[in-house]
Amino acid sequence: MQVTVTVNGVEYTKEIEGRLLLVHFLRDTLGLTGTHWGCDTSNCGTCVVWMDGEPVKSCTVLAAMAGGREVRTVEGLANGAELDPIQEGFRQCHGLQCGFCTPGMLMTCRHLLDKNPDPTEGEIREAISGQICRCTGYSSIVRSVRWAAVHEAEAAETKEEAVAQ
């Protein structure tokens, strides 16, 4: 079957098998290997991407279901050379070690900040509780999200001030 999916703003039309999972479509068909795969049971969250603005586990979505929708992956986070604040937060606060869970974590945390720009520790833990990190012990991920929240707030303030002036 043919499917047309927009990924990180680029439209792709591909001939695929009906059973192809979105995670394999992204990785194997499009070569976007930033999105990972880590389990058979929808537990690990290394595969999280956005579909129409909502985080989904791409191992549990058929590529066909993404037809006509907008997918955003970790490759679509940075603005050229400039990292998204959530990426910068992970860098500053050692929110990653092996980096395997990281793309999924980043997508979930970016979504959290968009909905809730000032999340508490508990809210952050809740948001990433469908995902597993085997390396960091989570504290540094929580800290990374807080870093991004604080810096985004500061940046917004500076911008407001500039506008006011």
Partner 1 sequence: MTTVQEPSQVKLTEFEDNDQKPVGFGRMLRKEDARLLRGRGRFVDDVQLPGMLHLAILRSPFAHANIVSIDTSAAEASPGVKAVVTGETLKGLGLAWMPTLSNDVQAVLATDKVRFQGQEVAFVVAEDRYQARDALELIDVEYDVLDPVIDVRRALEPDAPIIRTDLEGKNDNHVFDWETGDEEETNRVFAEADVIVKEDIVYPRVHPAPMETCGSVADFDPVEGKLRLWSTTQAPHAHRTLYAIVAGIPEHKIQVIAPDIGGGFGNKVPIYPGYVHSIVGSIVTGKPVKWMEDRSENLISTGFARDYIMRAEIAATREGKILAIRTNVLADHGAFNGTAAPVKYPAGFFGVFTGSYDLQAAHCKMTAVYTNKAPGGVAYACSFRITEAVYLVERIVDVLAYELQMDPAELRLKNFIQKDQFPYTTKTGWVYDSGDYEPTMRLAMEMAGYDELRKEQAEKRARGELMGIGISFFTEAVGAGPRKDMDILGLGMADGCELRVHPTGKAVVRLSVKTQGQGHETTFAQIIAEELGIPPADIDVVHGDTDNTPFGLGTYGSRSTPVSGAAAALVARKVRDKAKLIASAMLEVSVADIDWVKGSFSVKGDPGKSVTIQDIAMRAHGAGDLPDGMEGGLEAQICYNPSNLTYPHGAYICVVDVDPGTAEVKVRRFIAVDDCGTRINPMIIEGQVHGGLTDGVGMALMEMISFDEDGNCLGASLMDYLIPTALEVPDWETGYTVTPSPHHPIGAKGVGESATVGSPPAIVNAVVDALKPYGIRHADMPLTPSRVWDAMRGQATPPI
Positions touching ligand FES (CB under 6 A) are: 37-39, 42-47, 57, 59, 96-102, 133-136
When asked if residue 92 is in the footprint of partner 1 (CB under 8 A), the reply is: yes
Rounded Cα distance between 130 and 150, Å, is: 24
Least Cβ distance, residue 74 to partner 1 (angstroms): 4
* Residue for token pair 């929708």: 69
Least Cβ distance, residue 164 to ligand FES (angstroms): 41
Rounded Cα distance between 26 and 16, Å, is: 12
When asked if residue 87 is in the footprint of partner 1 (CB under 8 A), the reply is: yes
Applying the rule CB under 8 A, the residues between 111 and 150 that interact with partner 1 are: 121, 124-126, 128-143, 146-147
Q: What CA–CA distances, in Å, run from 20 to 26, 57, 59, 61, 140?
A: 10, 14, 10, 9, 35
Q: Kindly give, in sequence order, each residue whose CB lies less than 8 Å from that of residue 25, ignoring residues fewer than 6 positions away.
A: 3, 5, 14, 16, 63, 66
The partner in contact with residue 4, picked from ligand FES, partner 1, none with C-beta cut-offs of 5 to 8 angstroms by kind, is none
Of the two residues 78 and 98, which places its CB atom closer to ligand FES in the complex? 98
Chain Cα centroid distance, residue 85: 12
Rounded Cα distance between 111 and 39, Å, is: 22
When asked if residue 41 is in the footprint of partner 1 (CB under 8 A), the reply is: yes
Rounded Cα distance between 69 and 108, Å, is: 18
Among 7, 46, 57, 112, binds partner 1 (CB under 8 A): 46
Of the two residues 4 and 129, which places its CB atom closer to ligand FES in the complex? 129
Residues making contact with partner 1 (CB under 8 A): 17, 19-20, 24, 27-28, 31-41, 43-44, 46, 73-75, 77-78, 83, 87, 90-94, 96-103, 106, 121, 124-126, 128-143, 146-147
